[in-house]
């Protein structure tokens, strides 16, 4: 009987579960909508149902599941496998997800937040392969991130590391959902770009529309993008001076913007905020996993302890 793992990505709008080989090949996949009104108990029941089905399928495929990895949309106490809270669904506060799943299925389980899982996914299967020092920045509605340093995920003492989205960039800048002012997220997330475009151009715009207008030469839209790029360069430069990564990987919806509008100007702006020796050889590239980042992250999490460090 071959060995395999199970990954589950628990997001705000959907949950995805997959059965994979030890090499990360996905064998079976299940997806379902998150029923927010059913709260944590409903979410937990749905996770259990998907895991149960996939375990049956694993048996049919002749795969023995060695570990379950859960990427959760909210902060998690990694050591104890306990959810601090969900960003999207009520009732997850202090939910002992690891213990509950291990009790039910008798399979070792690891639980982490989705930003850490996404970072592990890009490192193991995506744009971070072969690099032991990287910064992953996910730019969507909000901004999250993760750091691999010396071939290990940086967690911090309460597993809260990687919060580049809440680095202050402009102390008097716009209000952030976190309650403080001028965080990177309030300046360069998809919501922030949409908000600034809407305000300055005077019609409701998404961040995608702001990028489209900028591409067609609208100077106000170009200015909005330019300010977001500068905020990203500021924050990524600060992070790079602190941990000297080889590669910066941009994921999330905003990173899908045309290279000439986001990645290229970001590369040009970064040296302003970086020691020259830290800038030397630093790569800034787009993530590779796209919509699979969540589930591949959960699989990477499940595989983590089986995997040797990436080659230098």
Sites of contact with a second copy (CB under 8 A): 75, 84, 131-133, 147, 149-150, 152, 154-164, 166-168, 171, 178-180, 234-235, 237-239, 241-246, 272-273, 275-278, 280-281
CB of 85 to a second copy, least distance (A): 10
Query: Distances from the Cα of 109 to the Cαs of 28, 67, 77, 129, 160, in angstroms?
Result: 19, 6, 13, 24, 20
**DSSP codes of every residue in 205-269:** --HHHHHHHHHTT-HHHHHHHHHHHHHHHHHHHHHHHHH--SEEEEESGGGGS-TTTTHHHHHHH
Between 161 and 212, whose beta carbon lies closer to a second copy?
A: 161
Unique residue bearing structure tokens 């699989």: 299
Q: What is the dihedral of CA 119, 120, 125, 131, to 10 degrees?
A: 80
How many residues comprise the chain?
A: 312
CB atoms within 10 A of CB 290: 14
Surface-to-core class of residue 216, CB atoms within 10 Å of its CB (0-12 exposed, 13-18 middle, 19+ buried): exposed
Give the DSSP H/E element, type plus range, for residue 116. Answer: helix 114-125
CB of 57 to a second copy, least distance (A): 36
Between 6 and 131, whose beta carbon lies closer to a second copy?
A: 131
Between 164 and 263, whose beta carbon lies closer to a second copy?
A: 164
CB atoms within 10 A of CB 213: 19
CB of 274 to a second copy, least distance (A): 8
Between 19 and 188, whose beta carbon lies closer to a second copy?
A: 188
Between 28 and 269, whose beta carbon lies closer to a second copy?
A: 269
CB of 164 to a second copy, least distance (A): 6
CB of 202 to a second copy, least distance (A): 29
CB of 262 to a second copy, least distance (A): 20
Query: Which neighbouring-strand residues pair with 285?
Result: 249
Are the beta carbons of 312 and 278 closer than 8 angstroms? no
Between 179 and 204, whose beta carbon lies closer to a second copy?
A: 179
Between 171 and 217, whose beta carbon lies closer to a second copy?
A: 171
CB of 277 to a second copy, least distance (A): 6
């Amino acid at each position: 009987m071959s060995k395999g793992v199970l990954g589950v990505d628990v997001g705000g709008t959907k949950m995805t579960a997959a059965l994979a080989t030890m090499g990360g090949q996905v064998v079976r996949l299940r997806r379902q909508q998150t029923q927010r009104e059913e709260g944590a108990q409903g979410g937990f029941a749905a996770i259990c149902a998907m895991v149960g089905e996939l375990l049956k399928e694993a048996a049919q495929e002749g795969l023995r599941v060695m570990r379950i990895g859960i990427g959760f949309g909210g902060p998690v106490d990694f050591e104890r496998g306990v959810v601090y809270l969900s960003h999207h669904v009520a009732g997850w506060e202090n939910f002992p997800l690891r213990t509950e799943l291990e009790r039910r299925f008798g399979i070792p389980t690891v639980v982490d937040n989705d930003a850490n899982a996404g970072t592990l996914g890009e490192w193991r299967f995506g744009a971070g392969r072969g690099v032991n020092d990287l910064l992953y920045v996910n730019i969507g509605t909000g901004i999250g991130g993760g750091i691999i340093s010396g071939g290990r995920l940086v967690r911090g003492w309460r597993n809260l590391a990687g919060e580049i989205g809440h680095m202050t960039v402009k102390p008097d800048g716009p209000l952030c959902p976190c309650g403080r002012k001028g965080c990177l997220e309030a300046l360069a997330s998809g919501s922030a770009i949409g908000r600034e475009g809407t305000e300055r151009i005077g019609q409701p715009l998404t961040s995608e529309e702001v990028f489209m207008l900028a591409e067609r030469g609208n100077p106000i839209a170009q200015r909005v993008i330019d300010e977001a790029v500068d905020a990203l360069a500021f924050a990524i430069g600060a992070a790079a001076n602190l941990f000297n990564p080889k590669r910066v990987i941009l994921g999330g919806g905003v990173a899908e913007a045309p290279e000439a509008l986001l990645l290229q100007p970001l590369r040009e702006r970064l040296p302003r905020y970086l020691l020259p020796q830290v800038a030397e050889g630093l790569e800034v590239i787009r993530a590779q996993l796209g919509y699979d980042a969540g589930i591949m992250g959960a699989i990477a999490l499940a595989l983590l302890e089986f995997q040797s460090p990436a080659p230098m």
